[in-house]
Structure 1
Amino acid sequence: MVRNENIITLNTKPVPADLPLDTDITIAGGIWTTLATADNESNGNLLGRSSGVNPAFGTHGVILLQNVRRVSVKNVTVRQSKAFGVHLANAHDFIVENITLEEHRRDGVHVNGPASNGLIRGVRGDSKDDDVALNAWEWKNYAPSYGPIERIIVEDVTGWPGDEHEGNNAIRILPGVKRFNDGTTLDCPIRDITLRRITDIRHFKIYDQPNLELGRDNDFSVG
């Protein structure tokens, strides 16, 4: 996998406004894989954690960019992996363009809030999950951070027409209200989003999703 330097656990409180960000990163070209050749077979960092020791909570990317500004990922193929193809969180002024998914087994491009001023263009192929996910809110065990997602363009997304399984070939838009362990809450809206030229996408997931505790057996959603 590939990741930026300044990745830390940020899921216990709102992201500080003065948090230092890694800037001006470009990832271009290549075939990236954890080689998930079957449902129970993978190699190396199969979950896309930020580190083999004490990883930042909620990091799940073959390409992982958290706490970043002015970053781009272009002309990349993600093949046979169980982590998100491109995982962005607390990302601003970003471009993700021309991403091909080959027998992938998780979201193609997954964005956790806060995030702003982004372009996601030309995602295509077989994700077996969400081709693009904008998750301001999130399952507790999948989120490195929470917050608003705004001013994002998603265009020229092409799913996999031969895949008819429920929930596959989807675009997810997930706002909500996050309740932290100390009882405080954070509004996590999604606003000013443009979707255009979307092909062979079977589902648009625009619905509330419980803020589940680890183990997914207790619902602590707000509102």
Structure 2
Amino acid sequence: MLTARPADMAAYATPPKSLTTDFDFPVRERLVPKQNEVLVPGATPDVAHLLLAGHTCRYRMLQDGRRQITAILVPGDICDLEALLAGRSSYAVSTLTRCTLGEIPLSRVAATHDPVLAAALQRRLRRDEAIAREWIVSLGRRDGIERTAHLLCELRWRLAEVGQATDDSYDLRTTQHDLADALGLTSVHVNRVLMNLRAERLIQLKGGRLTIIDRTRLKHLAQFDPAYLIQ
């Protein structure tokens, strides 16, 4: 696992507190294969699902089978944070890759009357909301290549916060179908966009590893400003 934070992040606040290391909650680790359901709509969770490795997503499915991914989660994220606070899930959570989940009993969280914990959970919720707002902007105003570039920049920033990315590269093992459902595009369109980004020497994607060749140009194309990620 990587630990050093990229140079362009050095001046920013530290990432959100970890439920396992900062608050010492007991965690039961569970390996989950890719494309497996973790939470279904309407469920009442009794454990918090902390993502330890891999990628999961939150999504909504329309009656005709079309899916919209509303969030891609990275290690350190709580998969069902909003559902935990509301007491009931309005969305589904699924693994995108092979994942390790940490299950924390809600009874232990509820029994911990710690204002620092409450503040940490609120900070995570504000960050989730900020990311969701930026995704709305992408879906409404950025074109296909811009929103793809923005997502790649965002994932690089979030993964670097938790030591899962270098200055220029990170693992990206999600399928083009999954990316399409997150970006509001077709798989064919995503394939074309990725080919264009490669042709412009902005990225390289090989063996499940994304390398950003020209970070400055990619950020400019996406109009990426990480301020919304700093809560």
Q: Normalized per residue, which structure has more helix?
A: 2
- Using structure 2 for the length normalisation, give the TM-score: 0.25
Greater Rg, structure 1 or structure 2?
A: 2
Comparing both chains, which one has the higher relative contact order based on Cα–Cα distances under 8 Å and sequence gaps of 6 or more? 2
- Using structure 1 for the length normalisation, give the TM-score: 0.25
